[in-house]
């Protein structure tokens, strides 16, 4: 056995095969982490700050992970967590603080003031930037990250010697013996399905529409986000900076990006955001993609020594911007639970992790479903379409005119409704 830093490596051969294929490199760590999205990277960052070592395995390349365009709104509490663990510096410098949001329907654009309603704000800072900050912070801290792995498996998670096995980027078999394993590998990862079906509860809903998202090289036409209801479908005007806009359109679930050349996208956006005295500035698109909409929760979030965090356990439709924030909230709780178990030998927080995390997950699932239902027009084929549209307009008028209703939206949007 040779020892590299804190990691104990063992080379082992099994008989009958050629040496190059036989060598299994095994290592030991305290926490094995599957996935280097925001959940996995932030977990490693928090654990490292508490002196706990971890190893991450990631199926994609570093370049791919850092370039993936996704969320843009970060809750106040999530910013506090990122700041506390040393990855908030650039966010505070380059991020945009938003104290409110606009809700729109034809002839109306009404602002909900978060600060006045519940005393909190949100920050606009792209997940791409946050991921880069996290990768840089981890690599500066000598984090072991195995990029481009394949055949990831979690074994013996319900025993006291759980293991992760995988093939590294060169195809060599490897094994990580862990005290605990964190499944941070997103919706399509392997962690969730390691938990036997017999003990899992799954609640889910698929929506009959998707979001077409564009990143545009044009200054935003608004100071704060606009969530717009329109008979043609929902539209969202967001941004990444004072120079770059991020916009979304509701499209049919079976539609695809090739049907949406730039001209058609900008025309639809102009129609859906139309308001007297206001114009939408168009510009070149830098990226275009389609996101299907679903709500999905798999519980429990723990099985033995395996803990799920983020999209590995739950997905929300993006209306309300909760996905990334839930991932950060999960990881903050999971890190505290692992620190307590590893350093104090106390299992109380790992025992309550799943229930504690799920309280916030269900709250965000409800809010995202509610926002989605209020803002997305039902397909024309829905026999209740006329009724549902009128209910949506009535809901929008109420939530923007009642202080109590507006506070409910503000508390949920900013994440103030539950403690981190």
Residues annotated as part of the active site:
98, 227, 318, 322, 413
Contact (Cβ atoms closer than 8 angstroms) between residue 26 and residue 175: yes
Edge-to-edge strands, sheet with 73-75? 73-75, 122-124, 96-98
Gap between the Cα atoms of 347 and 329, Å rounded: 19
Residue 233 binds: one of ligand DHB, ligand FAD, none (C-beta under 5 to 8 A by kind): none
CB closer to ligand DHB, 186 vs 320: 320
CB closer to ligand FAD, 319 vs 377: 319
270: left (phi over 0), alpha (psi -120 to 50) or beta: alpha
Instruction: Tell the smallest beta-carbon distance from residue 325 to ligand FAD (Å).
Output: 6
Residue 246 binds: one of ligand FAD, ligand DHB, none (C-beta under 5 to 8 A by kind): ligand DHB
Gap between the Cα atoms of 25 and 23, Å rounded: 6
Residue 186 binds: one of ligand DHB, ligand FAD, none (C-beta under 5 to 8 A by kind): ligand FAD
Gap between the Cα atoms of 47 and 341, Å rounded: 12
Instruction: Tell the smallest beta-carbon distance from residue 147 to ligand FAD (Å).
Output: 9
Residue 185 binds: one of ligand DHB, ligand FAD, none (C-beta under 5 to 8 A by kind): ligand FAD
Q: Which residue is nearest to ligand DHB (CB)?
A: 72
Gap between the Cα atoms of 169 and 257, Å rounded: 32
Contact (Cβ atoms closer than 8 angstroms) between residue 91 and residue 82: yes
φ, ψ at 318 (rounded to 5°): -70, -15
Residue 58 binds: one of ligand FAD, ligand DHB, none (C-beta under 5 to 8 A by kind): ligand FAD
For residue 380, with 0-12 CB atoms within 10 Å meaning exposed, 13-18 middle and 19 or more buried, which class applies? exposed
Residue 65 binds: one of ligand FAD, ligand DHB, none (C-beta under 5 to 8 A by kind): ligand FAD
CB closer to ligand FAD, 76 vs 322: 322
List interacting residues with ligand DHB (CB under 6 A): 71-73, 225, 236, 238, 246, 318-321
CB closer to ligand DHB, 39 vs 354: 39
CB closer to ligand FAD, 233 vs 310: 310
Instruction: State in Å, rounded, how far the first CA of the chain is from the last one.
Output: 42
List Cα–Cα distances, 354 to 5, 232, 311, 326, 339, in angstroms: 33, 40, 14, 13, 16
Contact (Cβ atoms closer than 8 angstroms) between residue 191 and residue 155: no
Gap between the Cα atoms of 169 and 221, Å rounded: 44
Instruction: Tell the smallest beta-carbon distance from residue 244 to ligand FAD (Å).
Output: 14
Strands 245-252 and 235-239, by their bridges, are antiparallel
List interacting residues with ligand FAD (CB under 6 A): 34-40, 57-60, 65, 70-71, 127, 149, 152, 184-186, 188-190, 291, 310-312, 318, 321-324, 327
CB closer to ligand FAD, 106 vs 189: 189
């Amino acid at each position: 056995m040779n020892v590299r830093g804190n990691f104990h490596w063992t080379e082992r051969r099994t008989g009958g095969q050629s040496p190059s294929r036989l060598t299994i490199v095994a290592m030991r760590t305290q926490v094995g982490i599957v996935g280097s999205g925001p959940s996995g990277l932030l977990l490693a960052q928090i654990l490292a700050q508490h002196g706990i070592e971890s190893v991450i395995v990631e199926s994609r390349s570093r370049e791919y992970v850092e370039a993936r365009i996704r969320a843009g709104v970060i809750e106040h509490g999530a910013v506090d967590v990122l700041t506390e663990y040393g990855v908030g510096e650039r966010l505070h410098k380059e991020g945009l603080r938003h104290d409110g949001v606009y809700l729109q329907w034809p002839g109306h654009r009404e602002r909900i003031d978060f600060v006045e309603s519940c005393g909190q704000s949100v920050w606009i800072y792209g997940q791409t930037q946050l991921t880069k900050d996290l990768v840089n912070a981890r690599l500066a801290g000598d984090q072991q990250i195995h990029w481009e792995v394949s055949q990831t498996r979690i074994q013996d998670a319900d025993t006291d010697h759980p293991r992760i096995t995988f093939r590294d980027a060169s195809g060599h078999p490897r094994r990580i013996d862990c005290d605990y394993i964190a499944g941070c590998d997103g919706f399509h990862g392997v962690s969730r399905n390691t938990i036997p079906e017999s003990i899992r509860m799954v609640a889910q809903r698929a929506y009959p529409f998707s979001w077409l998202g564009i990143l545009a090289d044009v200054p935003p036409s608004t100071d704060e986000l606009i969530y717009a209801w329109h008979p043609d479908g929902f539209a969202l005007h967001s941004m990444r900076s004072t120079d770059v806009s991020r916009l979304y359109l509701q499209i049919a679930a079976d539609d695809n990006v090739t049907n949406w050349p730039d001209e058609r996208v900008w025309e639809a956006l102009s129609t859906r955001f139309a308001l007297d005295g206001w114009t939408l500035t168009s510009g070149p698109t830098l990226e275009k993609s389609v996101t299907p909409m679903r709500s999905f929760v798999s519980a429990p979030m723990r099985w033995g020594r395996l803990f799920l965090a983020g999209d590995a356990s739950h997905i929300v439709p993006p209306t309300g911007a909760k996905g990334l924030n839930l991932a950060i909230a999960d990881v903050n709780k999971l890190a505290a639970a692992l620190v307590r178990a590893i350093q104090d030998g106390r299992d109380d927080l790992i025992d309550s992790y799943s229930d504690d995390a799920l309280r916030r997950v269900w709250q965000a699932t409800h809010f995202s479903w509610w926002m989605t239902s209020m803002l997305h027009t039902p397909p024309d084929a829905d026999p209740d379409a006329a009724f549902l549209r009128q209910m949506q307009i009535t809901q929008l008028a109420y939530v923007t005119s009642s202080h109590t209703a507006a506070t409910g939206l503000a508390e949920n949007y900013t994440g103030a409704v539950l403690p981190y």
